[in-house]
Structure 1
């Protein structure tokens, strides 16, 4: 029976590592002092600067050093006095002053500059060096004309400069090379660095985009060179917690004389033939797992080394660098991770990526798993790949502490999943079929823009990541849905390859444009990506517009383009056909008549618009043939209708059962301030609660086979259902109250019989789920991050056990007019006003409007004719656009409602020239003002005034409108339902958004 996993290893939090602050100290300027011959060889034959630059570019490294070459000490001193030099390399000099003389002269005058000596190895030089004090130089290297050595020298010094900070900041690893032979370390270091830098390119593929990949390469292991036993032990003790492995010679000095603590090239100190064994044995006593590699020219050392558990490399072998690479690959975690059979050592499974390790961890045979876990191999492999949070965590879950193979599997799996989720948050990854799965998060296909919605989602994701207290509530998660964005370059490619611009920019009807788009072909290269997305989501998919202009900071194009939803099907090829049709339908919606009218109203050019498409899992749960979330909502961080203790700056939420499209379409929602969840005006009286709460909701039709039969109306497969249908699904448990007709009372909770009132009582008043707190944080952090008021869409699934998942779907700015308003609007006398409202939205002054368009209403008004009213107003609005005129629009009920019984069912493009929109409540026709829809996002974005007038109250309470004056004026145009009148002089529209006071004055009107 498996061991119980201790809590400390099940409840862990991985802290992210940032690579941006690693490798911050660089060698920027190198001075090479060489005789003219060597200088010529470097410049012309070796082309050192070009080679180094190419080497850096090829390895994806930044900041290649620049090189200055001189040939005399005097020239060197001149440069050093005038330029900031980070490193001096002294090469073989002239007959009378060799490299050592030059280097010593420079160091005497500039003791703080890094100084390296390159020297050829002849018998004479070797004899000379026996008596040479090398302590003042950083290193001495053997120069055989190999320019790769210069790259290694730069990297070796940079590693030493950065190691303390980088270990502290991120847990970067160190490889210790112990070698006193100048010739040998001069040849092995270029090979070692070449291999490590190549490996860093490989592990950079774990990054989610190119920028992150470049940064991850900064997490490569550092190389430190020790030339004596003392130096090696000192470095090991200092960095042993971050030691990836040790490569050591056998014969080298034990103690360094004080004057030889630098380059240690001379032979004043006798070499100890046992030094390597003494060193590795001491390290093994400290750490039973760290890989130890011994290299020696004495083949006799092989047997002893292997007997003591060290790996061995023969220095005499022509395959030396290859043998060393293989050992590092196998034992230091470089390359692929190979699960082996512990008896035969045969390969069982080869793992290339972190996701492959996650996918295979439960399939590895137990004996192989035991072999690797008990030797800490997995932790080391992760370390070499710069996946430090998981590596550091697993390093402490040793076999001694937990002797259960399956428990180790689970711990490794959980740690990887948490790490991948953490890395995905707030990052727009490049879509990769090898990495995208149910633990992946947000990715892009293409290199173009993400568009407005795509940017908003990426921004929301980042807000969640930077504020961990979003997830401080037990049983409540806050996240964005799994998302893939098809960038705008995919749209460009589609439009050009299918020659669609002619038909798109023509005046053809919407249906004709849609037909042409549906006949066109999307590139086949995305098919495999879409299948990967299907496998990762297992839910219906929303295909949402994300245009360049949509949801931008100053021109929110909210709700203009289409959003389609497709069900999740077992037949993935049928699902692919539906997805392709939906993407093409969203593309087509850019060129519909309403979109073109909107473009004209906003002074934009249609061919500047480009469309990205957001593919996103639909938030919700399956209920037989329908799919919907427990609740959807729209948050606005400015409340233009504060009631009771509410304040304008506290914001407002509109909540509804089912899909959020119901709110956007102007359906009946519950209006609540997240700071005052117990004070809900709609629930204050029983009659109001029964009349003004939600009676219908939207759900996705899961059984309708839409095929490619897509319509211009993006809601063609959305079900409009009665609330009692949701009662059958069990989704009302925490969001409804029950009306008892016998006792004439509304009780919180769902009971047998009686009408269900969507009151959200469980989440607002009974703390079933921390919805008010999450809404408060969303508004506060969203508005702080955008530096302006915001509108946020969300959806939430609640479970029977009171847990839930809160999904942020979209964020966009509310753009407020900054016009200064000097007048006190409330103080204006009534006889100067055409109309006034004490509940107005908008801020500023408009003084260029002379036209008023109003619905002909009286106390016997009926909503039956509202669809005909909408058609009249759409036509008049088009004329107004053609003439470049704005107007005041007045009518009873709610403008923009999809339910014609609640008000005139216009869309924004049908009234886009209106400067003020007035909703009038009549005695026999009272509809609460709508708020929080896409419609009102556009009102506030364009600074359009929105006035509510209630004729059932006195003028100083409900406001007033001089309809008698309008009726008495001659009409520019009059239909059965609508009148259009024009004043000789412009009206003056004043709006005070802070006090919700609005008025239209006629002071200068004749």
Structure 2
């Protein structure tokens, strides 16, 4: 397992912020006469003012205001627009607006309607005996635009309360019946809470998450009677952040001067730690506040707003967490954010931590910052249930780590030097694109987060390596500021291009970020290309650009120089000769290519002066060469010891179907195992690169014999031992004998769930991308049989040669030269003009060795000419028994594009599907057909071939060449294959 992963960490459930604040106020109808409306707006720009307020507070979706002054205008607007809120403003001389509002409420009972009355004695006097039952709230206009924002937010909070509280959102309960007072205090309270939420939102990993996280701010709910307040509290007491209450308000239908005291006392009886604030115009009520454990605010104070913000900040969990000495109540520590708490939890003074734990202050602080999963978890671990301060420290630390892991997974965070640490997962530097590989990695991280079943195995963690992407805008800035395009686009040698790039300077602001990155990552780093075109869905550029690896050395300055040079080397590779040629071949313009660079921890272990993983691999979701019980949709995997470059470079590796891990062709027979298993592997040399980087990105990799890995001890669980005395291969490591890389422990013995993980990730990858996929991975195994399965890349399987959208069964037999219903391979080829076939007129298996020699000679000529051909003959090609087929080796037939086994009436052999040189078939994309046309199984039109003039004819073999190509089509998924007659229209 990873060293810093604790399986005992709590399993936290993430908060879906996107599901919060679903109901919004978008359109507001303002009913007022023109003069009063203008007075409300001050200068006629209410919409602009609200917009400005929203921007300052980081809010989105500012509402639109529609003003009407008459019944007719109101009806006209209501007919055109759906309104979410109606604000009525009564004038000084009449109350027509109330009549309009009552009419609207009758027809639209669900639209909230509020009264906004100017604060004047005359208006209040005229309204004293009016019926306000149809209105949701009545407010006093005090000349402050903040009130409009508060009204909107109060209505929105009320609409979303039930839904959002269920997700963990907290409630601040304000109990007040004085219109004058709550009209004054609500704007004050909302501005404070919104500013606080704007501050804690910056802890989110990117701008989008910042915006979403603000939806988790506490809801402010206004209650105007004892019964309403008690009902709200009892329904949501688990989510009550704090209560602010007047002392005098209605109870049982009558004004009760002690209602606030009774309410706060009842709440205190339910929860001994929830913060309570009592406010009153009567100073002697402070004694009652103290009696029920509440803080007191004098409503007559000239600085009541300041006093309220101070108490709310200190006791409701807002702002920094200030740890106090319980004896002196002096500050002993200040915590600014979650990472700060994580870093300091083990050094906080014991007495102070105990004081805050017993009062549930840590959980409350986390709640106010919308950290609901972790706060909910800690809330239920009380001092009563666990009276051990050090145990609480560890629990808090583990919960933070678990939460940060959960939040980092599946998210492309913005890189911040002060936040990036060993728990960071995927971050970006810059504003441009992530490039093809970067997008693939981000998508893999998303799949891991969405599918926890990938991490359901006790002894296996599934993750992507710690990754930072330098976005394409860094590349643009590097190229422009160093004026490199003229050199880069010239025809000078690759070495000179690299030299010019190495002498150029990276953006200065990037250097500090790279230093912060190196302070965290303390193992080798892969610097990988991630261009816009790489791994694109329809034209993958995989393997075109450079990937460097740098070792871990103690000196940060040395590592920084290596890292800078490697980044420049990747940038330079865009303009190498091969890259330019590939661009031309794919009809792309090179100066439109943009390069992102991936900085990624290398998966593996250190063995002395070298570093490599136990297993590297490439998995594909479709197998075009299924043999035996395999099915095409089961997929296929290539496995190798060491770095994955060995597979990319075409080195001998192990091919296995993850659905049949116990049936590996290469280890099925001793002779094949000795000949066709891995003999060498790649490792990173753990010495600093002193000289300049080279064009060859593998210049500091070691290509070592497998016996070196035996000395490292890295072959445990993945090797078998050949016993030369008993002439057998035994699974496992034993003294003496050659070690064969068979991966027996993980494939057949269940040491590590590699087959299960491969089946699962291929299935999820195919489903997620809605197409066949190719996935790169690496595995780090530990001696205790645990390990980490690292996903390194995912890309669509798009290869023009492999594309086939045709149903081959619909092609008529008469248009085919050869047809097989038992074919392996995939794709279309229209570059073959030649057929080489064994004559069957007087065929005898006795002549098979001579036939092999004749074909070998013909094949050499094809290799010299750079041409390919279709090879047809009876029996098993490559059989070691010449009586079963022509005993050729792969070099004897290596120019063949399709190999056909044709049965004869008197010479029937079970199909081999080319198992004798299966690795070569799959590596070179060669089709393999089995045809028994004498049984009605397929087509082999030898009569047509016999009628054509021969380029060459020997005693047993004939070579025919056509003026137009014989088009080859193979559908390995359906095991159908055809070789078309030359000149047939496709």
Query: TM range, normalised to the smaller chain?
Result: 0.7 to 0.9
Matching residue within 474, 483, 488 for 1:499 = 483
Matching residue within 735, 739, 742 for 2:725 = 742
Mapped pair 1:216 → 2:213: yes
Residue 1003 of structure 1 and its aligned partner are, at CA, apart by 3.3
Mapped pair 1:992 → 2:982: no
2:18 aligns to what SS in structure 1? Answer: coil
Residue 455 of structure 1 and its aligned partner are, at CA, apart by 0.7
Residue 779 of structure 1 and its aligned partner are, at CA, apart by 0.6
Residue 880 (structure 1) aligns with? none
Range moving further from structure 2, 498-507 or 988-997 = 988-997
Cα–Cα, structure 1 residues 173 and 829, in superposed 2: closer, same or farther, change >3 Å?
closer
Q: How does 1:497-896 map to 2 (within 5 A)?
A: 497-703=481-687, 705-707=688-690, 709-815=692-798, 816-822=802-808, 832=817, 840-844=824-828, 846-847=829-830, 859=853, 888=868
Residue 348 (structure 1) aligns with? 332
Residue 26 (structure 2) aligns with? 28
Cα–Cα, structure 1 residues 532 and 828, in superposed 2: closer, same or farther, change >3 Å?
farther
Q: How does 1:114-193 map to 2 (within 5 A)?
A: 114-168=112-166, 170-193=167-190
Range moving further from structure 2, 774-783 or 532-541 = 532-541
CA distance in 2, matches of 1:404, 1:889: 79
Mapped pair 1:423 → 2:446: no
CA distance in 2, matches of 1:799, 1:222: 49
Cα–Cα, structure 1 residues 11 and 327, in superposed 2: closer, same or farther, change >3 Å?
same
Per-residue CA distance 1:37-78 (angstroms, 9 max, x = gap): 122234561511111122223323222211111122343234
CA distance in 1, matches of 2:205, 2:190: 25
Residue 266 (structure 1) aligns with? none
Residue 437 of structure 1 and its aligned partner are, at CA, apart by 1.0
Cα–Cα, structure 1 residues 996 and 716, in superposed 2: closer, same or farther, change >3 Å?
farther
Residue 926 (structure 2) aligns with? 946
CA distance in 2, matches of 1:917, 1:446: 47
Matching residue within 255, 274, 277 for 2:258 = 274
1:45 aligns to what SS in structure 2? Answer: coil
1:323 aligns to what SS in structure 2? Answer: helix
CA distance in 1, matches of 2:593, 2:823: 36
Residue 977 (structure 1) aligns with? none
2:17 aligns to what SS in structure 1? Answer: coil
1:635 aligns to what SS in structure 2? Answer: strand
Residue 926 of structure 1 and its aligned partner are, at CA, apart by 7.7
Cα–Cα, structure 1 residues 932 and 609, in superposed 2: closer, same or farther, change >3 Å?
farther
Per-residue CA distance 1:818-869 (angstroms, 9 max, x = gap): 4315468997899x57x9997653234x54776999xxx9959999x99x99
1:796–1:805 CA contact under 8 A, matched in 2: yes
Cα–Cα, structure 1 residues 47 and 595, in superposed 2: closer, same or farther, change >3 Å?
same
Residue 919 (structure 2) aligns with? 929
Per-residue CA distance 1:965-994 (angstroms, 9 max, x = gap): 999489xxxxxxxxxx99643442333333
2:14 aligns to what SS in structure 1? Answer: coil
1:807 aligns to what SS in structure 2? Answer: strand
CA distance in 2, matches of 1:707, 1:861: 52
Residue 241 (structure 2) aligns with? 244
2:919 aligns to what SS in structure 1? Answer: coil
Cα–Cα, structure 1 residues 850 and 748, in superposed 2: closer, same or farther, change >3 Å?
closer
CA distance in 2, matches of 1:850, 1:431: 57
CA distance in 2, matches of 1:396, 1:596: 62
2:808–2:977 CA contact under 8 A, matched in 1: no
Matching residue within 456, 470, 485 for 1:472 = 456
Cα–Cα, structure 1 residues 829 and 98, in superposed 2: closer, same or farther, change >3 Å?
closer
Residue 949 of structure 1 and its aligned partner are, at CA, apart by 9.3
1:73–1:106 CA contact under 8 A, matched in 2: no
Per-residue CA distance 1:892-943 (angstroms, 9 max, x = gap): x99xxxxxx9989x9xxxxxxx9x957999xxx985435888xx7xxxxxxx
CA distance in 2, matches of 1:823, 1:91: 78
1:825–1:997 CA contact under 8 A, matched in 2: no
Residue 942 (structure 1) aligns with? none
CA distance in 1, matches of 2:80, 2:420: 54
CA RMSD of aligned residues (A): 3.7
TM-score (norm 2): 0.87
Unpaired segments ≥5 residues, structure 2? 1-5, 837-850, 872-876, 879-888, 902-914, 931-936, 954-959
Mapped pair 1:309 → 2:290: no
Cα–Cα, structure 1 residues 644 and 183, in superposed 2: closer, same or farther, change >3 Å?
same
1:476–1:806 CA contact under 8 A, matched in 2: yes
Residue 239 of structure 1 and its aligned partner are, at CA, apart by 1.1
Residue 135 of structure 1 and its aligned partner are, at CA, apart by 2.2
1:843 aligns to what SS in structure 2? Answer: strand
CA distance in 2, matches of 1:817, 1:376: 62
Q: How does 1:96-111 map to 2 (within 5 A)?
A: 96-97=94-95, 100-111=98-109
1:369 aligns to what SS in structure 2? Answer: helix
Cα–Cα, structure 1 residues 318 and 23, in superposed 2: closer, same or farther, change >3 Å?
same
1:99–1:119 CA contact under 8 A, matched in 2: no
Counting matched residue pairs gives 925
Residue 191 of structure 1 and its aligned partner are, at CA, apart by 1.0
Residue 468 (structure 2) aligns with? 484
CA distance in 2, matches of 1:177, 1:383: 18
Unpaired segments ≥5 residues, structure 1? 1-7, 257-268, 877-886, 895-900, 907-913, 937-944, 951-955, 971-980
Per-residue CA distance 1:226-270 (angstroms, 9 max, x = gap): 1111211111111111101001111222223xxxxxxxxxxxx3x
Mapped pair 1:1003 → 2:986: no
Per-residue CA distance 1:384-423 (angstroms, 9 max, x = gap): 1111100111110011111111111111111111111111
Residue 956 (structure 2) aligns with? none
1:929 aligns to what SS in structure 2? Answer: helix
Matching residue within 12, 17, 20 for 1:19 = 17
Per-residue CA distance 1:688-707 (angstroms, 9 max, x = gap): 1111111111111002x213
Residue 82 of structure 1 and its aligned partner are, at CA, apart by 4.2
1:837–1:960 CA contact under 8 A, matched in 2: no
CA distance in 2, matches of 1:869, 1:355: 66
1:451–1:549 CA contact under 8 A, matched in 2: yes
1:10–1:411 CA contact under 8 A, matched in 2: no
Range moving further from structure 2, 793-802 or 527-536 = 527-536
1:444 aligns to what SS in structure 2? Answer: strand
Cα–Cα, structure 1 residues 99 and 568, in superposed 2: closer, same or farther, change >3 Å?
same
Cα–Cα, structure 1 residues 662 and 481, in superposed 2: closer, same or farther, change >3 Å?
same
Cα–Cα, structure 1 residues 785 and 647, in superposed 2: closer, same or farther, change >3 Å?
same
Mapped pair 1:457 → 2:454: no
1:35–1:94 CA contact under 8 A, matched in 2: no
CA distance in 2, matches of 1:725, 1:966: 57
Residue 747 of structure 1 and its aligned partner are, at CA, apart by 1.0
1:103–1:117 CA contact under 8 A, matched in 2: no
CA distance in 2, matches of 1:559, 1:989: 27
Per-residue CA distance 1:452-484 (angstroms, 9 max, x = gap): 111111111111111111111111111111111
CA distance in 1, matches of 2:110, 2:567: 63
Q: How does 1:356-367 map to 2 (within 5 A)?
A: 356-367=340-351
CA distance in 2, matches of 1:426, 1:783: 18
